[in-house]
Amino acid sequence: MLIVDDATILRKLIRMTLEEIGHEVVGEAENGFKAVLKCADLKPDVIFLDITMPEMDGLTAIPKLIEKNPSVKIVVCSALGQKAMIIQAIKSGAVNFIVKPFEKETIKKVMQVI
């Protein structure tokens, strides 16, 4: 798993939840640009990707991440008011989404279906 969010606290929450349910987190990034670089090296199975970030947002990063690792599954993390962006992310290749703020149970449920 690769966790991409500009908020350190959210990266930690997602990491703790994933590790609690037995998944390995291979890396973290604070923006889409760094995520693309890490994706090429780490080849994660799943990426939890924020949409709104500095330098490179999640929507711009999705096709680049898929290009670096075509089998990756991307789960978009978004604020409630970003419905249009979530739809665009799914059309670009994301497989699922979670809405912020989220409970640990939400991450567990998403991981069961991907």
- Per residue in 1-18, pLDDT (tens digit) is 999 999 999 999 999 999
Are the beta carbons of 82 and 59 closer than 8 angstroms?
no
At what angle are helices 58-68 and 32-42 packed, to 10 degrees? Answer: 20
Q: Which residue has the tokens 């798993």?
A: 1
> Residue 80's pLDDT is what?
66
> Residue 99's pLDDT is what?
87
pLDDT band at 83 (very low <50, low <70, confident <90, very high): confident
**Domains (ranges, CATH) in the chain?**
2-109 (3.40.50.2300)
Mean pLDDT (whole number) for 70-92: 88
For 52, 53, 95, 102, 105, the CA distances from 60, given in Å and listed in that order, are 10, 10, 16, 23, 28
pLDDT band at 94 (very low <50, low <70, confident <90, very high): very high
pLDDT at 107 over 80: yes
